[in-house]
Each structure stands twice: as C-alpha cells, then as structure tokens.
Amino acid sequence: MLLVAALVVLVIAYAITRIQSDRQLRRQYLDNAIGLADAAADVANRLDDLVGSLEQLQRPLLVESLDELQVEAMRIAAEVDELEVPGAAAVRTAHAYLDVATSSWGDGVAQASRGMVDLTEAPLDDAALKLVGDGITALQVGDEAYAYFLVALEDVDTSDLARAFPEVEFITAENEASFDAADLGQRLFLTPALGLVANVSVSDLRLDPGPIGEEEGISVIPVSARLDAEAIIGNNGTVERLGIVVQLTMISGEGDMYQTEQTIPLLRAGQLTTVLFTDLPADAGTFYEVTVELTGEDSNPADDSMSFMFLRDTAE
C-alpha cells in the first residue's frame, strides 16, 4: 500500500509539474509572439506612411526606408519560425497561421520594395509592376493568415497576457487604392525626385594661397612655398556614385600643360567632398588657367567642370 501511495504521489507531482511547465511554455510563446506581432504592426504602419508620402520623398530616403522595412519584415518572419511552440494542439494551430502570416509579409515587403525601386530606374516597367503586384498579393495573404491566427487564439488560454494581440493589416480598406500596382507605378513615374539621376558636379574651385588682388581683371596669386588647388565635388543626383575621376589641367600662357587626377571612391547622393591637388607647378610672373573637370557619363555635363585664371605674382 505504501508503494502504491508513493506512486500516486509521484504521478500527481509529475502531472502538476507538467501542467506548470506547459503553462510556462505557453506564456513564453505568447509573450514572444505578441512582441513580434507588435513589430509587424509597426512595419505595416511605416510602409503605409511611406506609400502615402511618396511625393515628398527623395530617392535615397525611399531606397533606404524600403531596405530597412524589408530587413525588419524578414527578421520577424525568421524569429516566428524559430519560436518554441508548446505541444497543445490549439497553440500549434494558431502558430501555423502566424508563421504563414509573417513569412508572407516578409516576401511581400521584399517583392514590393524591389519592384518600387526598379520602377524608379525603369518607369512603368512591366516586370517591376508585376513585382509590386505580387508583393501586394503576398501582403494580403499575410493579412488573411493573421486574421485566422487571431481566431485560432480564441481556443488558447491567453489570460496571463496583460493585453490582447494587436490588429495587423498591411492592406486595409482605407489604403487599398494607394497600394494598387499601376497607381504606384504612375506616382513613382510622376515624381522626379524619385527617379534615377546621376549628376556629379564641380561646386567650387579655390587656390591656396588665394588671390591678393587683380591685374587687368585677372586674379593675382602671391608667390609662396607651395600652391594648392581645392575642388569641391558634389553629388546632386539621386544615386550614389562610385569611382569618380577628378582631373586637373593647368595651362600656362606659353602653352605648357600640367595634368593630374584623383579618384573619389564613393560619393552618396547629396554629399559634398573636397579633393586637394598639391604642389602645382606655377612660375612667378606667369599667367595660367587651371581647370577641374569630371570624366564619365553624367545627366548634366554643364556642371562637370570649372576654371580659374590667375597670374602668379613676381618674386620680390
């Protein structure tokens, strides 16, 4: 009898421990799931704001924002896929819907983002429009799966949670028209700031030492131990530029020519940088014209060069 009683006690203790363990696993799962659902809701809101304000954006910000949303949506999907799911059938059923929802959202944001960026480079391109359309469809699939997840949660004990799971919907009745692929293509096409513009310019050209006066309208540069030229190069376009070659040419009044060049590895859209050319060979008492120009293809060649004429002062 004592053996039987001890066995009963062990069975009861095991059952209680198992119940507590299952409850703890369920609570941990729900805590993690609600945090990821909150993150998905944030992505949905940010994407909605982005699409609603396309006309106020510059292309670099659009591309950067879409990249961030894509990374976040894929992170959420990956973390949902890795959640430890309790053994209860109701929880597993709910999780299956959540897994479909987040993976579909991740695919949808990625496809729509790629399509929108492609449309800024090739306006109204059919392949890009299809990418956007496929992405929107995937977002809608995710929305539907999440709605089923919320329904399935009704069979799960969520009383330990301080609040209910958030509503998450990427494509709503209010924004559905804005997420139409053809409409998005038109808006991207009609917003010049979102287009692909490659325009690097020479914004300024200065000598060091600078002018100390003029002679017959020509700037006079004093004699010094060294003469340097500073060129300010700006990226006025909407895309980053790589390997920008900046060439300096200096021609004297006697026809002697000096030429050198430097390369800017990377210049982001809207960024300025200074290129320094040192020890220019300018003789005293000689007239020169120095020109800085950019080589390569450019949307606006008119601002790709700048010249400066000067007279090197005579030595005392």
CB proximity list for 260: less than 8 A, separation 6 or greater:
247, 248, 277
Same domain? For 147 and 66 the reply is yes
Which has more confidence, 198 or 71? 71
Judgement on whether residues 129 and 52 belong to the same structural domain of the protein: yes
pLDDT digits (tens, 9 = 90+) for 53-112: 999 988 888 999 999 999 999 999 999 999 999 988 999 999 999 999 999 999 999 999
% of the chain exceeding 70 in pLDDT: 92
Q: Domain of 90: which CATH number?
A: 1.20.1420
> 180 and 223 share a domain?
no
Give the C-alpha separation, 179 to 197, whole Å: 25
Query: How many domains, the chain?
Result: 2
Question: Which pTM was predicted?
Answer: 0.69
Reported confidence tier of residue 131, pLDDT bands at 50, 70, 90: very high
Indicate whether 219 and 121 sit together in one domain.
Answer: no
Of the residues 194, 215, 238, the one at which a domain ends: 194
26: its two tokens: 């369920």
Q: Is the distance from CB of 228 to CB of 276 less than 8 angstroms?
A: yes
Residue 1: pLDDT band (50, 70, 90) is low
pLDDT at 36: 96
CATH code of 301's domain: 2.60.40.10
Domain enclosing residue 164, as ranges: 2-194
**What is the tens place of the pLDDT at every residue in 221-256?**
998 889 999 999 999 887 788 899 999 999 999 889
Same-domain status, 142 and 204: no
* Domain co-membership, 12 together with 137: yes
Q: 221 and 119, same structural domain?
A: no
Q: Which of residues 176, 194, 212 is at a domain's end?
A: 194
Residue type, 46: R
One domain, residues 247 and 124: no
Residues 80 and 101 in one domain: yes
The CA distance from 165 to 163, in Å, is 7
